[in-house]
Amino acid sequence: MAIAQLGRLLGQHSRIALDTSIFMYQLQAHPKYVAFTEAVFTWLEKPKAQGVTSTITMTELLVQPYRARDQQRADEIYGLLSTFPNLSWVSPSLEIADSAAQVRAKYALRTPDALQAATALRSLATALITNDSSFRSVAGIQVVILDDMI
């Protein structure tokens, strides 16, 4: 039921922003969330789908392999995700930095989360998929929290 709900939601949007947790759950095949993340990444492979995330996501994803001195894993993650179809990686520009500061001030988000939200808003995404309830209050975008779907 919940996966079908996510599928319907994905069908309502052409550009969706993805928070780091979605990538982490997929890469780790997290038993509680992998069915949801599989649906998201399958949707991304469709021709009209557009996903967006901040380059902050890549930073967060590569910390663990680098900490473990696992260059091969870091290369695998970078290679897979940097070339994933219909997924845009957006670097923090001055405009995004300014928007992130405004988001952080208004919603008391941590800087990485404010950058994710600002990237989503500046990229004209109409939904943000995350599992972080701190995004719930961000206006101007539909925030989808995985735990709310379970």
Domain with 16, as residue range(s), is 2-149
pTM: 0.94
The pLDDT value given to residue 150: 85
C-alpha–C-alpha distance, residues 87 and 119, integer Å:
13
Count how many domains the chain has: 1
Specify the CATH number for the domain of residue 98: 3.40.50.1010
Tell me the per-residue pLDDT of 30-49, one tens digit each, with 9 for 90 and over.
999 999 999 999 999 999 99
Mean pLDDT taken over the chain: 95
Answer whether residue 1 shows pLDDT above 70.
no
Taking alpha carbons only, the member of 51, 62, 63 closest to residue 116 is 51
Q: Give the pLDDT mean for 81-87.
A: 95
Tell me the per-residue pLDDT of 93-148, one tens digit each, with 9 for 90 and over.
999 999 999 999 999 999 999 999 999 999 999 999 999 999 999 999 999 999 99
